[in-house]
Amino acid sequence: MKSKRILVTGGAGFLGSHLCERLVRGGHDVICLDNYFTGRKKNVEHLMDFHNFELMRHDITFPIFVEVDQVYNLACPASPVHYQHNAVKTIKTSVMGAINVLGLAKRVKARVLQASTSEIYGDPTQHPQQETYWGNVNPIGFRSCYDEGKRVAETLFFDYHRMNDVDIRIMRIFNTYGPRMHPDDGRVVSNFIVQALKNNDITVYGDGSQTRSFCYVDDLIEGMIRLMNKDGFNGPVNVGNPGEFTIKELAEKVIELVGSSSMVIYKPLPSDDPRQRRPDITLAKEKLDWQPEIKLEQGLRKTIKYFKDNLD
């Protein structure tokens, strides 16, 4: 593939850092943009010696002026703990961030990919979720700043595409895990692993019967790059692992793999927490020739090793 100049917003975050690494090692010139609200410099410090990697501190709610061929828009806190910390800032990041990257793409005629989310489906009444499903979202709840912010971003992407012929891609990301997750981000995989490594009680919200589908980060990044470089297909497209597990099953698997003495304890389910979440990836298979390769146990082992090596 011909070398490109690529902007990754949120590039020092969990997903962004893996994407930057993959693109840098692929020979592309990469600008990693982050304001470090949830992103961390240590996630990309191993890339600083590469001549084709550049780090820029910037908040995407303000316009950005660079010359690039492609933009991956990953800038937004993605875990409930972080996106509820400052709900107004979260929705501004999604909405103003989308306007700013779309304005950039329009000016320099770049292709732009929006990292959207399975959260746009809300607490779904359709299972598994297909891209044609419009969702079941509470517009005024605690999660709304993220859910509705991402929904508005998708609206903006398609409006810029229809009105200004901006070359867009939209990817709906389902639960993803792997090395470089923030240990305090409140996501279920990192929560369970950190608690198990410390032999603390593992906290399950609700009765543990709610389900999630977990995609390892390497599989996710492969799908993202395939979507960006697929001509003639805008999306939206689900990218995630259709393997479905209850939260209780995940907790028990993490305890087993860590060899922990942790006990599972149960607490009340948070407001608007989805009962089921599983992607229909038929479209990703058909359009991108993509499906996940890494099984949950294999991915959990790699993630546990990362946390074991990096926990203070």
Give me the catalytic one of 72, 83, 146, 216.
Answer: 146
Residue 119 DSSP symbol: G
Active site (annotated) includes residue 146: yes
pLDDT digits (tens, 9 = 90+) for 158-179: 999 999 999 999 999 999 999 9
Q: Look at the pTM and tell me if it is higher than 0.85.
A: yes
Q: In angstroms, rounded to a whole number, what is the distance separating the alpha carbons of residues 53 and 262? A: 42
Architecture of 5-178+215-241+278-293 per CATH? Answer: 3-Layer(aba) Sandwich (3.40)
pLDDT computed for residue 174 by the predictor: 93
| In contact, 73 and 113? CB cutoff 8 Å | yes
The predicted pLDDT at position 37 comes to 85
pLDDT along the chain (312 residues), means of 10: 92 96 97 92 95 96 96 84 74 95 98 95 88 91 89 98 98 94 83 91 86 93 98 96 90 90 82 74 97 94 92 68
User: Looking at residue 307, what DSSP letter applies?
Assistant: H
Extended beta strands in the chain, E state: 5-9, 29-34, 53-57, 70-73, 111-117, 167-173, 176-177, 202-205, 211-213, 215-216, 237-239, 244-246, 264-267
Nearest Cα neighbor of 222 from 19, 4, 32 is 19
Cα separation, 144 vs 187, whole angstroms: 17
For residue 312, what pLDDT is reported? 62
Q: How far apart are CA 288 and CA 233, in angstroms?
A: 9
Q: What is the pLDDT of residue 83?
A: 63
pLDDT, residue 3, reads 92
Per-residue pLDDT at 294: 96
Contact (CB, 8 A) for 196 and 260: yes
Domain ranges of the chain: 5-178+215-241+278-293
- List the one residue out of 131, 290, 295 whose CA is nearest residue 223: 290
